[in-house]
Structure 1
Amino acid sequence: MSIRKKDKDGLFKNIFAAYFILLLHVFLLAGIGLTVILFKGIYHYLPWIMGGIAIMVLAIAWLIYHRVRATSSSLSEVLGLPEFQDRAVEIRLLGGLASFEIKAKEHPVLPNHTSFSPYADDRLIESTADLAERRLLELNGLYEKDLITREEFEKARQSIIQG
């Protein structure tokens, strides 16, 4: 019985494929055995692992708290700048994983406050310079709408400037 070269190549490939499949099964069984041993160890030491993770989380939270507390005065100084007045500021930590927003303080409005001027300010507490400026702006608005004469405008402006 003679075996041709083509049949030898096919037979060799089939034997090689069978050995390769057997080798893969050996590696699969070894991997399953290591997994069982590893999970048995994890299960046995699970309380210690969870305790260690909890201690790490608490330590990181403590470090962040003290870091924020140490820089809180600088944060309040930055938020006190005129650029941040009457604006909401969003602060993101850990690349946006944790974020919070600091909203601007709303100025209280007087009840039943009616003003026909577009320059009216609705703040309760107003300095004398701001009050004079607001009155001059209202007066200027009345003059531009031709609701008062030039003489009335000059007379009222002088009385506002003199206080």
Structure 2
Amino acid sequence: MIVQIRVDDRLIHGQVALLWGKELNTKGIIVANDHAAQDATQAATLKMACPQGQRLLIRSVDDAIRVASDSRGASMRIFMLTQTVEDAYRVASEAPSGVVQAVNIANVGRFDRSDDAAKTLLTTGVNLNPQELEAARKLCQLDIPVIHQVGTTDPKTKVSDLLAKLG
């Protein structure tokens, strides 16, 4: 089962490596990112950043969905990282019901190359282009918790509440 999908445009970094695996009590991380799955340099960098004691898989989004859907992983506690809300939505909506336990839209929008003027600031660290905003709305319609929580000790905020403030 995927305990949490974290949307973070940096994928694996210090906070993820040191805190989130422990907080979620996971033994495996799946990076669901088409670019990282095809780029040997980025994959090597992610492997170096992966904490000891965590098993790391770097897969395309389609392959990550297949891994998440495999019944052999049903009893495993997995932490998944995506770089975009759209990718998180694809995994959450295409994986079998009950596989994805929660989605955390933590840090997104800083590095995408879309027009900054067209982006919507949802909250600190979450700056969504129109496609990402629509994916966030669709995520909130699924039957799973969708939150914003940057650090493990930060409060959890429902993304649906943040979206409601936009109108």
TM range (shorter): under 0.3
Normalising by structure 2, what TM-score? 0.20
Q: Which has the higher Rg, Structure 1 or Structure 2?
A: 1
Structure (1 or 2) with the greater strand fraction: 2
Structure (1 or 2) with the greater helix fraction: 1
Q: Which has the higher contact order (CA 8 A, sep 6+)?
A: 2
